[in-house]
Structure 1
Amino acid sequence: MESTTDTRPVEPATSLTELLRERAASEPDAAAITVDGLAPLTFEEWNDRADAAAHGLLAFGEGRLRRIALYFGGLDWVGYAVAYHAAQRVGATTLHLNDTMPAEEVAYRLAECGVNGIVHGNGLTPPVDFSGWTAPLGELEGGLHRPLVRPVRPDAVADILYTSGTTGRAKAITVTHANMMFGRAKPTIDTLGVSDHLLAAMPLGTSSSQGTASFPLLSRSTLLVAPPDAAERIAELVVRYEVGSMMITPATALALVRARVHERHDLGSLHTVTTASSAFPPAVARDLLAMLPGATLAMAYTSLEAAPAVTLNVFDPARPLSVGRPAHGTEVRITDDLDRPLPAGEVGEIWLRSAAPKRRYLDTDLDKKFNVGEWTRMTDLGRLSEDGELTFFDRSADAVRTGTTLVSSIAVEAELYEHPAVREVAVIGTPDRAPGQVVTAVVVLTSPERLADVRAFAEERLPAAERPARYVVADTLPRSFLGKVLKRELRQRFGAVDASRS
């Protein structure tokens, strides 16, 4: 009797949603996502609900499913994850929005991306004045509960993601399935370490949340989601689930340090804390390490445009502004103003490249400017050592250009954070009566009376060219809905010439 066993090799998944189907078949009861300590979403439930919602989407007609926006908020990560895979299963390109974005920014992105329809959280009202179709996820899940399997073209655009918009208007980036699946994001996943639970304190409905929701598909960890602005709750969840790996933003790291959560919670299970947005200020990094003596602080330096090209680093107090070395398959170069490679040790613009299919700006003019051959210009400044270690200098838009010196706002901030009276600080360049800019420090202090102490502290520790010539005491620093400091707003607010320096 002839065997009927199918011995043909299984084709590897070419999209994240195919990967979800594979995980649901092999580990149906495994927990994929747990939100703030609630009952987990299993891979089987995730897969079945995505199929049902995908069938619900088909009722709108194939021609109206080309581009779908996901509009979610709060901690509705399960709904967001289900809606994402439902949209992917009907072949749509997805745009990621949340209810904390300014209404005008939401409207701008919907129009720029030519969105056909919006899937939104069950408790949310879709944006007003949108002319396409809208549907709450709950209504879509009444569709057929059977697999919806369609071939995926690797070169098809899976997502339109937006940059953070900290130095200018956020820019749209198109990402193909092939780019998303390249190496299955292995370098970045490796920085997270091995843990039964990966705690992520990230905002929902953003470019970062799209990647965060994919981690349980790419690793063996259950994604445990916590509110990014609740330090006490984060600590409680670390203890309850004996979390080994945690992914946070520098703003959340600062909140954990300021709240001194380690004095009330045993955080000894943590072995890896990771950021993929910007580096922790050295003082904050050291304080965090003191709170978590068994942990390392890891960083993946890249940009939305350049991923998966990345450099990886473990924080070393002796080299606090290092962002590490290129991951396998990534190349780095530093160039001058004429795009010529610079020798080791010289500060210039950082370029990254990898063998992955490239991400592209939706704006073709921007794409020609910043994607040069296989390289992506980072619009960041840095220097390479002889042995290939990359040190971050500053964002090009944030570096202060005095009459004779290029000053790193990051380096000046790092020194000011060393003073115990400084709760937060942002250094910017403001106009001067002489050619160039003035180094200006906008500081949030424990007490305004401590400003003289901070000024004297900076005089002692910083070279003359880097010392702030102007201080502004503020109650808070303006931040985006992603938690990043908006220096452009500070430059607009304090951009007048300082008459005291005439």
Structure 2
Amino acid sequence: MSTAPHLPGTPVPATPATPATLPALLAHRAAAHGERTAVVCGAQRLDFAAWQARSGALAAALRAEGVRSGDRVGLCFGTDRWAEYAVAFLAVLRAGAVAVPLSDRASPAGTAHALTDAGARLLLHADGGPRPPGVPDGVRTRTEATATATAHHPADPADPAIPGTPGLPEPDPDAPAQILYTSGTTGTPKGVTARHANLVHGCTLDERRRPLRHSRTFLHAFPVGTNAGQTMLVNALNAHAACVTAPQFTPARFVRLIAEHAVGSVFLVPATAVELLASRALAAAAERGDLDTVRLVGSTAAALPQPVALALDRAFGKAQLVNYYTSTEAAPAQVTLLFDPARPDSPGRPASLAELRVTDADGHPVAPGEPGELWLRSPAAPRAYLGERDGAVFRGRWVRMGDLGRVDADGFLHLLDRERDVVKSGAHKVSTLQVENALHAHPKVADAAAFGVPHPVLGSVVAAVVVPDGELTAAELRTFLLDHLAVHELPATVHFRTTLPRNEGGKVLKRQLRRTLTTPDTPEATP
């Protein structure tokens, strides 16, 4: 591509280094290299030119149907339809509306709550699929095919337009762009609103500065409707590497995709990491050298148990294990932690502590090394709960994470527990993360969760639910734990299960486990 020569003495035209919105970023990438693959999901391939064209056509159809700036539009897609979801999400933003991403794994009640709470009157879902269960009667449903086929009228020509997309409104960076619902592990999911400027923060128009330049492709299996999934969508738009999505997570399929696409970056949550490490497929792939292309293994959504982190570090011997510490409320704020196998008690040392604060209950910073509440500072327009002000979580650009932790003298972050999960047993406070680390260290424990249950004398005691890998008794487990935990940290009861209940983001539903303890589906043991 040729450019006009610059004449000495004349000002150099300024080129913006950052896009104002995600639609502007897509338009840039489609113009720069439209034929480059952006998203791969099964047999589906989506390049930037097709992403731009299809999202533009769908956006125009939405405008023709009456969708206007600020309207809320639900999006319900499975992990096998990530390419369709990518088109639909950008179409909603290009139409000037607010996207409400939902997972097809959500319960009908959860879908109904989100659509009603957000005030959505339209839902986009996968082509060829039925109307998702739980959609309220007053919400219209469309697919990309049905919406574009029934669009007879162009969008309002009076709308200010993005260059190259006449008739579509140019999104205001300060306008709402997305409402994402929290996991709801402890209560009713809350809608978290994000503006366009928030979603596009950290993105670039400079090809030399694109993230994941060490990778030709990156791989994930995150569902739509989660913060981790939305991060992968932004990566697909912004990264040098193409996004490969596993249509459905199984260890065999996941490692096969690593080899097939020469994957350089792998993104997991603790639940998929545990399942992957327990599989024969991973060991076989390592023996064949199929994992040698991987240079980065990222984990997010929850804390990795120490034994799981060490096992991942060994399995992906040529990769750096990175823990990403963030939340739906805090994004794009996050702390990137490089895991050090010599310091497995910590998820890693942040490159900078400027955006992380450890405070007491009143919000005052604590002394270095002291435990306290963790806060992250958003570098962009901060998010907020839909329809409410919560000073306990959002204070200016600072967001309360709901975790307890400390930063040691060497700058390593230590996550002590979720505030709500700390077990107050008699005179002691017990970290459930500490108990889970000890449980995962047993070679016959495939998965485990610890939490507090009421006790008539101590107030609360620790209970554990364990998924065994082979034959395991409570007595064996107790003997093992005596060398890893203090007496007050030992689980008062151990319950054996075949699986742990998890939400669509992979987090253990401890609330559900507490409810089912009185009617276990496998024998309960009291060590």
Tell me if structure 2 keeps the 8 A contact 1:166–1:488.
yes
1:27 corresponds, among 19, 30, 33, to 33
Identity among equivalent positions (%) equals 37
TM-score, scaled relative to structure 1: 0.91
Structure 2 distance, partners of 1:118, 1:100, is 16
Q: Residue 238 of structure 1 aligns to which amino acid in structure 2?
A: I
CA distance in 2 between counterparts of 1:173 and 1:335 reads 24
- Displacement after TM superposition at 1:190 (Å): 8.9
1:232 paired with 2:252, answer yes
SS of equivalent residue, structure 2 residue 138: coil
Look up the match of 1:75.
Answer: 80
Q: 1:297 aligns with which of 300, 321, 334?
A: 321
Alpha carbons 2:463, 2:494 under 8 Å: kept: yes
- In the alignment, which of 171, 179, 191 is matched to residue 190 of structure 2? 171
Determine the C-alpha separation between the residues in 2 that align with 1:215 and 1:368: 31
Deviations 1:61-82 (A, max 9, x none): 1448711111112410111011
Deviations 1:232-269 (A, max 9, x none): 01111111111111111111111111113233322111
Specify the code of the residue in structure 1 equivalent to 2:197: A
Q: Distance in 1 between matches of 2:388 and 2:454?
A: 33
Give the RMSD, CA atoms, in angstroms: 2.7
Query: What is the SS of the residue equivalent to 1:40?
Result: strand
Q: Which residue of 2 aligns with 1:214?
A: 234
- Displacement of 1:132 in angstroms is 2.8
Distance 2:245 2:87 in 1: 15
Report which stretch shifted further, 27-36 or 190-199: 190-199
The Cα of 1:91 is off from its aligned counterpart by 0.4
1:192·1:247 contact (CA, 8 Å) conserved in 2?
no
Judged with a 3 Å threshold, the aligned counterparts in structure 2 of structure 1 residues 389 and 181 are, in CA distance, closer, same or farther, namely same
Structure 2 residue corresponding to 1:486, chosen from 509, 512, 523: 509
Q: Which runs of 5+ in 2 are unaligned?
A: 156-163, 520-524
Q: How far did 1:321 drift?
A: 4.0
- 1:95-494 equivalences under 5 Å are 95-127=100-132, 128-142=135-149, 147-148=165-166, 149-184=168-203, 194-227=214-247, 229-265=249-285, 266-326=290-350, 330-365=354-389, 367-447=390-470, 449-494=472-517
The one-letter code matched in structure 2 to 1:97 is L
Structure 1: distance between partners of 2:211 and 2:445: 30
Cα offset for 1:51? 0.7
Q: Deviations over 1:13-37 (max 9, x none)?
A: 211111000000000111111113x
Number of equivalences? 493
Q: Contact (CA 8 Å) 1:310, 1:330: kept in 2 or not?
A: no
**Distance between the aligned counterparts of 1:328 and 1:179, measured in 2?**
21
Structure 2 counterpart of 1:31, one-letter code: T
Instruction: Render the CA deviation track for 1:420-479: whole Å, top value 9, x for unaligned.
Output: 111111011111121331111111113454322111100122122212222112222111
Runs of 5+ consecutive residues of structure 1 not aligned to the other structure: none
1:13 corresponds to: 19
Q: CA deviation at 1:219?
A: 1.1
CA contact (8 A) 2:80 2:248 kept: no
Residues 320 and 174 of structure 1, relative CA distance in 2, 3 Å threshold: same
| C-alpha distance 225-485 of structure 1, shift in aligned 2 (>3 A) | same
d(CA) in 2 for partners of 1:229 and 1:321? 29
Aligned CA distance change for structure 1 residues 102 and 330 (closer, same or farther; 3 Å): farther
Distance 1:178 1:201 in 2: 26
- C-alpha distance 486-62 of structure 1, shift in aligned 2 (>3 A): closer
Equivalent residues of 1:119, 1:137 under 8 A apart: yes
CA contact (8 A) 1:199 1:247 kept: yes
- Name the CA shift for 1:194/1:7 in 2 (closer, same or farther; >3 Å): same
The change in CA–CA distance for 1:74 and 1:62 in structure 2 (over 3 A counts) is closer
**2:522 alignment counterpart:** none
Q: Which moved more, 1:468-477 or 1:214-223?
A: 468-477
Q: Deviations over 1:115-148 (max 9, x none)?
A: 1211111122234433032211112334579724
Distance in 2, Cα, partners of 1:167 & 1:58: 38
Contact 2:454 2:460 in 1 (8 A): yes
Task: Write the distance in 2 (CA, Å) between the matches of 1:336 and 1:329.
Answer: 17
The 2-side partners of 1:73 and 1:130 are apart by 22
User: In structure 2, what is the Cα distance between the partners aligned to 1:390 and 1:293?
Assistant: 23
Is the partner of 2:391 in helix, strand or coil? helix
CA distance in 2 between partners of 1:210 and 1:39 (Å):
19
The amino acid that maps onto 2:215 is S
CA contact (8 A) 2:461 2:491 kept: yes
Aligned mates of 2:328, 2:372 — CA distance in 1: 20
Counterpart check, 1:90 vs 2:95: yes
Helix, strand or coil for the counterpart of 1:184?
coil
| Separation (CA, whole Å) in 2 of partners of 1:4 and 1:392 | 55
Task: Give distance in 2, aligned partners of 1:171 and 1:129.
Answer: 18
1:387 CA displacement: 4.5
Structure 2: which amino acid aligns with 1:171? K
Determine if contact 2:40/2:244 at 8 Å carries over to the other structure: yes
Shift in alpha-carbon separation, 1:368–1:309, aligned structure 2, 3 A = same
Offset, 1:343: 1.4
Kindly indicate whether the alpha-carbon contact (under 8 Å) linking 2:217 and 2:261 is maintained by their aligned counterparts in 1: yes
